[in-house]
Structure 1
């Protein structure tokens, strides 16, 4: 700040002496009591120096003032802007052109309620807590002691305690896959002559009717045969299960030399049963030719053919077909081989006749239909074979086994393996 020129009079309050000036300090007499002088009026001419107008301070050209005067007065009735960020209780602090705070009492209240006094516990509660602490401590100590003791014993004898908790229920032990279960050997003759299928009793009727499909085309013939399978299954399944064998339903396909649909191949020129895949292969061309000549006779012939081939399937499920094939393969001469073949085929015819007899009412085997079936059975045999092979049995043998089985409707009438060679000629 630049030096100012001193006045001639003595310096007033707030002034400093210029450099070089000196004024002797008055001597203070400490023995003299300190007292105020007589009051003087403000209008005293001697105080003109005190009422002298103050000089303005020089302005620094580089200084920037942040004060630009009081804020503008708000409009009448306008809401006041509270002080943002305030944490004072009792509302925001008024600033600016608002009236002075007029709330009665202290402006700043206490922040938060006073802390609660410490909780006092009774002597009984303190004693209970102490006792509980002692009990818990003692229990933990006993458990640790037992754990240490058991650890020592387990280390001394690791196998004395099981490492896995055993279940209350016994755990099933799976069979060893490398172990081969040996089935008791049953001789072929025992399986053929004493099979339990003969003890199954009379076949129950399934009350099924002839399929309503007209076999006048290749696809219709296949559907006709396939429609008979559920009826045959319902009749034979209880008997096979009663004989303690597993029942399975066969497949039915059309025989085609160009495109075989079964595992059995060869120069077979008629309907056949293939035991390799349990399939019945149908010679549909022969059936179609018969149906064009005589529809009723063709349908009855197709029903007998299907019942006969399903009879081979019964032999397969009861393991008799395997046994008879084994005996036929082990025969010493051709005549014996043909005899085993005739026994097998005649039994299939007998099983088929038993099935038809069990359902003769629902199939309508009476009157003309029954006469047609009897005629076809009596005139079916090796005598009508173009190759003259005696592998299925003569027409006399066909009726000998088919006639009684139709009346009894029982597999017990079909034990061809105990009959004399004459009855299977």
Structure 2
């Protein structure tokens, strides 16, 4: 029963699984037991099951300050402590030096600090001493003479060496450096001066180069091209000396037929011939000349020579930079009338250049008789009056002859300065 106290008044221990309730306290431990405490039966440590209990005996730590009567080997000296001589020996304890300083039984250094006495100085006779002195004097005198000669030669080859440092003068002359490049700005030529004061006017007359009119009959596209190709070398040969004399570079133009399949860099009317300054090409409309040749062969040949000479006149303007100058002046023109007037001056000058070439080579080209009459008639009856669009850009028929007739007779580009003429002469 729970209230019973079998141990004579002590509270019984709670059973397994018993929990303390509110107000109930755990029993205090008993201070004395009634049963005596005795040792159990002794067990041997050498039994088979007790091998794990064996432990290796470890020496007890030695107290260096403890005094012991044990007569064992002395304790090893502490690091850095002075070594103590062992009893009954001349050697010191501790580590020994090994190497060439054996035997170790010596107490002092291996070699004595004081060596054997030096031998007595050797005595020389008076004759030997006198001979050596004389030899020294001879050697000293020889060295002095050599030094004097060296100094004399050095002074003779160097100009005042103490006043300036010695230099090695080169045997070859120092090359002269070229003058630095100086860029000079050449003043530009005004457009109006380029056309009014061009050097082509002072180059002189065109020479008769002896060329002949091509004998090709222009009855087709191929033969028409061959006819103009026969005239081109004659024009190149006549104009080249004057272009170069005027200070410009000569360039032969290209030649082509007006065709939609082979266009030039310029846009021109498809039913007329023109010059393209962009690629320096003369474009010829071949169909008109084939039809004209069928109606009147003489007039067709004269007209073809005149058109070729006129378009080459534009090439002369291009080589002498007048074509560029006129284009610039037109860009600055304030009115359309002023722009058209500049264009008429340009076209009338090309007509004049062409007439100068034809007049200088009239014999070789056969411009006599009927051909000459045909050329004069065509020149007098060409102008803006015959333009269906009534555009006044090439000059009247009166001015066509005003510039063409005199140039044919003179054969000189000086007759073609249309830029100094009055407005009436370029209308």
Structure 2-normalised TM-score? 0.58
CA contact (8 A) 2:348 2:403 kept: yes
Report the Cα distance in structure 2 between the residues aligned to 1:267 and 1:239, rounded to whole angstroms. 31
Which of the residues 297, 300, 311 maps onto 1:298?
Answer: 300
Aligned twin of 1:5: none
Report the Cα distance in structure 2 between the residues aligned to 1:316 and 1:344, rounded to whole angstroms. 11
CA contact (8 A) 2:258 2:270 kept: no
Report the Cα distance in structure 2 between the residues aligned to 1:298 and 1:175, rounded to whole angstroms. 58
Aligned twin of 1:194: 197
Aligned twin of 2:363: 361
Matches within 5 A, 1:286-365: 286-365=288-367
Report the Cα distance in structure 1 between the residues aligned to 2:174 and 2:273, rounded to whole angstroms. 62
Give CA-to-partner distance per residue, 1:135-189, whole Å, 9 cap, x none: xxxxxxxxxxxxxxxxxxxxx999x888x9977xx7989989xx8x754301111
2:424 counterpart of 1:422: yes
Aligned twin of 1:383: 385
Give CA-to-partner distance per residue, 1:222-275, whole Å, 9 cap, x none: 111111111111111111111111111111111113431x21125453111111
Q: How many residues align?
A: 274
Aligned twin of 2:255: 252
SS at match of 1:417: helix
Matches within 5 A, 1:17-416: 182-260=185-263, 262-416=264-418
For structure 1, the 5+ residue unaligned runs are 1-155
Report the Cα distance in structure 2 between the residues aligned to 1:362 and 1:166, rounded to whole angstroms. 64
Runs of 4+ in 1 over 2 A off after TM superposition: 164-167, 170-176, 181-184, 265-269
Give the drift of 1:319. 0.9
For structure 2, the 5+ residue unaligned runs are 1-164
Aligned twin of 1:61: none
Call closer, same or farther: CA 1:259–1:422 in 2, change over 3 Å.
same
Give CA-to-partner distance per residue, 1:177-233, whole Å, 9 cap, x none: xx8x75430111111111111111221111111011111111111111111111111
Call closer, same or farther: CA 1:300–1:266 in 2, change over 3 Å.
closer
Report the Cα distance in structure 2 between the residues aligned to 1:348 and 1:198, rounded to whole angstroms. 13
SS at match of 2:194: helix
